[in-house]
Structure 1
Amino acid sequence: MRHGSFRFAGAEIPFPNNGSYFGTIPVDPTSNQGQSRTPQPPHSSSLLRFQSFSRFPATACDHSRVNSAGNRSEHRGHSTAMDCTLPSLLWSLLWRTSFGVGLALISLPLCAAPPPSTTTVTVTDSTGARQTLTGTVLVEAQDGSLLLETAIQQLHLLAGDTIRDRHTDEQAETLSPRALGQQVLTEFPERFSLLTTRHYVICYDTSAGYARWAAALFERLYSGFHAFWKQQGMDLTPPEHPLVVVIFSDRRAYTASAAKEVGEASHSIVGYYNQLSNRITTFDLTGSDSLANSATASAGRAGTEILASPEAAGLVATLIHEATHQLAFNAGLQQRLAPIPVWVSEGIATYFETPDLTSSRGWRSIGSINRPRLDLIRRRFTPGLLTRMITSDEPFRDPDEALVAYAHAWALVSMLAKTKRIAFADYMRVLAAKRPLASDTPAERLADFETTFGKSPDALEKPLIRYLSGLPVR
Structure 2
Amino acid sequence: MNPSIRRSLLMFVIAIAFAGQSPVVSAVETITFNSKDDDLVNGVPKPVRTVKGRILVEAQDGGLMLQSDDGRIWTVQPEQIIERSSDDQAFTPLTDNEIADRIRKELPPGFEIYQTAHYVIAYDANEAYVKQVGLLFEQLYKGFYAYWRNQRWRLPEPEFPLVAIVFDSKNDFLKYASAEVGDTANAVIGYYHIAGNRMVTYNVPNLNRNVSTIIHEATHQLAYNCGLQTRFADNPMWVSEGLALFFEAPDFKSASRWRGIGNVNEFNLQRWKAYVPLRGRDSLVTLISDDKRFRSPETASDAYGESWALTYYLLKTHRKEYVDYLKRLSEGKPMRKMTARERIELFEEVFGDPIAKIDQGFLTYMRRYVGG
Q: Which amino acid aligns with 2:101?
A: Q
Matched, 1:409 2:313: no
**Corresponding position: 1:448 with 2:353:** no
How far residue 472 of structure 1 moved from its aligned partner, in angstroms, is 5.8
Which residue of the partner structure matches residue 189 of structure 1? Answer: 108
SS in 2 for 1:183: helix
Is residue 375 from structure 1 mapped to residue 237 from structure 2 by the alignment? no
> 1:148 maps to what in 2?
66
Cα distance in structure 1, aligned partners of 2:362 and 2:35: 54
Indicate if the aligned counterparts of 1:233 and 1:422 stay in contact, CA closer than 8 A. no
Higher share in helix: 2
User: What are the Cα deviations for residues 90-111 of structure 1, in whole angstroms up to 9, with x where unaligned?
Assistant: xxx9627xx4755535534546
Instruction: Find the aligned partners of 2:9 and 2:61 in 1 and give their Cα distance.
Output: 27
Q: Which residue of 2 aligns with 1:113?
A: 25
- What residue is the counterpart of 2:43 in the other structure? none
Contact 1:144 1:159 in 2 (8 A): yes
State the one-letter code of the partner of 1:233.
R
Instruction: Quote how far apart the aligned CAs of 1:316 are.
Output: 0.7
How far is the alpha carbon of 1:423 from its aligned partner? 1.0
Aligned residues: 358
Could you state the TM-score of these two structures normalised by the residue count of structure 2? 0.87
Q: Find the counterpart in structure 2 of residue 87 from structure 1.
A: none
**1:268 — aligned with what?**
187
16, 35, 52: which is aligned to 1:134? 52
Give the structure with higher Rg (CA).
1
* 1:238-277 pair list within 5 angstroms: 238-277=157-196
For normalisation by structure 1, the TM-score amounts to 0.69
Question: Who is 1:166 aligned against?
Answer: 85
Q: Counterpart of 2:188 in 1: which secondary structure?
A: coil
1:316 equivalent to 2:214? Answer no
Distance in 1 (CA, whole Å) between partners of 2:198 and 2:364 is 39
For residues 393 and 159 of structure 1, the distance between their equivalents in structure 2, rounded to whole angstroms, comes to 25
Unaligned runs of 5+ residues in structure 2 are: 37-46
The C-alpha deviation readout for 1:82-132, integer Å capped at 9, x for no partner, is xxxxxxxxxxx9627xx47555355345463225x4x33444689xx8643
**Deviation (angstroms), 1:392:** 1.4
Percentage of pairs with the same residue: 33
Tell me by how many angstroms 1:158 deviates: 4.2
Aligned counterparts of 1:395 and 1:160: Cα–Cα separation in 2: 32
C-alpha change, 1:471 and 1:249, in structure 2 (3 Å) is farther
Q: Aligned residue for 1:291?
A: none
Specify the SS of the correspondent of 2:106: coil
Q: Residues of 1 paired with 2:153 and 2:369: CA distance? A: 27
Shift of 1:227: 1.2
Q: 3-state SS of the aligned residue for 1:377? A: helix
Secondary structure of 2:286's match?
helix
Mapped partners of 1:214, 1:170: distance in 2: 37
Q: Counterpart in 2 of 1:226?
A: 145
Deviation at 1:140, TM superposition (A): 4.7
Question: What's the offset of the Cα at 1:369?
Answer: 0.6
Question: Which residue in 1 is equivalent to 2:290?
Answer: 392
Indicate the RMSD between aligned Cα atoms, in angstroms. 2.7
Higher relative contact order (CA 8 A, sep 6+): 1
State the Cα deviation string for residues 37-68 of structure 1 (Å, max 9, x = none).
64xx5xxxxxxxxxxxxxxxxxxxxxxxxxxx
Distance change >3 Å, CA 403–CA 444, structure 1 → 2: same
Quote the Cα distance in structure 1 between the aligned partners of 2:141 and 2:85: 39
Deviation (angstroms), 1:196 = 1.2
- 8 Å contact kept, 1:178–1:196: no
Which stretch shifts more, 357-366 or 333-342?
A: 357-366
Structure 1 residues 466, 253: closer, same or farther in 2, change over 3 A? same
Q: 1:22 to 1:227 in 2, by over 3 A?
A: farther
Secondary structure, counterpart of 2:74 in structure 1: strand
Q: How does 1:1-400 map to 2 (within 5 A)?
A: 23=3, 38=5, 41=6, 95=9, 99=11, 104-108=16-20, 110=22, 112-114=24-26, 117=28, 119-123=29-33, 131-140=49-58, 146-158=64-76, 162-164=81-83, 166-168=85-87, 170-286=89-205, 309=206, 312-313=208-209, 315-381=210-276, 382-383=279-280, 384-400=282-298
Written as runs of structure 1 = structure 2, the 5 A alignment for 1:426-441 is: 426-441=324-339
Distance 1:167 1:196 in 2: 33
Flag the 1:205–1:124 CA change in 2: closer, same or farther, 3 A.
closer
Question: Structure 1, unaligned stretches of length 5 or more?
Answer: 1-20, 24-36, 42-92, 287-308
What is the one-letter code of the residue matched to 2:316?
K
Q: Shift of the alpha carbon at 1:226?
A: 1.1
Counterparts of 2:324 and 2:84, CA distance in 1: 46
Shift of 1:164: 3.3
Question: Following the alignment from structure 1 to structure 2, what is the Cα–Cα distance between the partners of residues 144 and 392?
Answer: 28
Q: Hey, what's the Cα distance between the residues in 2 that align with 1:171 and 1:428?
A: 30
Q: 1:130 to 1:361 in 2, by over 3 A?
A: closer
- 1:124–1:164 CA contact under 8 A, matched in 2: no
- Distance in 2, matches of 1:122 and 1:188, equals 21
User: Paired residue for 2:357?
Assistant: 459
**C-alpha separation between the residues in 2 aligned to 1:456 and 1:105?**
34
Note the alpha carbon deviations across 1:343-384, whole angstroms, 9 max, x for none.
011111100101112111221111001111112212321132
Change (3 A) 1:181 1:459: same
